[in-house]
Amino acid sequence: MIQNENKNIQAPATSSLILEERHDSELFRVYAAILDGITDHILLPGKKLTESDLCRQMVCSRNTVRSALSLLAHDKIVDLQPNRGAFVHVPDLQEIRDILSTRMAMEEMIIGLLSELPDLEQRLQPIYTILDHEDTALAGGDQVGVNRISNAFHVELARLVGNNVLTEIMNTLCARTSLVIAVLDNKPARRAGTYNEHREILDLLVEGKRNRAGKMLRKHLNETLVRLEKKFETQ
């Protein structure tokens, strides 16, 4: 089975953030295992995904694997190449820019929608709990856990808005960001600032400082983009 060897990971996997009505099927089980293997950086960009190996590892039919790979290809997580097979997607520089710029626009919108919710401080308490786990993962050098929690922070903020389509889009964008990080920036030391910025965004929302929270979020994502662009150019 595709899984991370770190048994101490307590953070939610990417697949667990997908809407629950999609969970109850053999297809989802296989889709989720491959997706989590990719976003946890076990299956690295460019790796060939052999149908027979996946069938054996997950004890399922070839048709199920093919359907799962097709869904992942639709989500731009996997590439299906004629006469060659399936490969973990490798994003180029334009795609990296497109992903992060789209996230900036969407997440600023999410901040605006959240600021209009009643009892926002109470609604945000589970997100603060997520950040407590991020701090623990960071202190323990659990990079997979940190990556998972960072994704969960952004997806769960979107979920609070109550728009399922928005939540699904954010989950896909965060998964694609994980692919970029696997290619360019898989370094544990880089995450301390991310944790602090996540907490500051929540604090500004609680204080009713919508504009400052939006600016902080854009700065947070733009700094990520600039760092990734520099790493791409030095490859």
Q: Which tens digit of pLDDT belongs to each residue from 6-55?
A: 544 468 899 998 876 666 789 999 999 999 999 999 999 999 999 999 99
On whether the 93-234 domain is CATH 1.10.10.10, my answer is no
Q: Cα angle at 169 between 181 and 146, to 5 degrees?
A: 35
pLDDT in tens, 165-216: 999 999 999 999 999 988 886 554 445 678 899 999 999 999 999 999 999 9
Residues contacting 215, CB < 8 A, separation 6+? none
DSSP line for 78-114: EEEETTTEEEE----HHHHHHHHHHHHHHHHHHHHHH
Q: How high is the pLDDT of residue 33?
A: 95
Q: Which helix (H) or strand (E) holds 54?
A: helix 51-58
Report the residue count for the chain: 235
Which token pair is 108? 């600023």
pTM for this prediction: 0.89
Return the domain boundaries, the chain. 14-88, 93-234
Domain 14-88 has CATH 1.10.10.10: yes
Tokens of 22: 């999609």
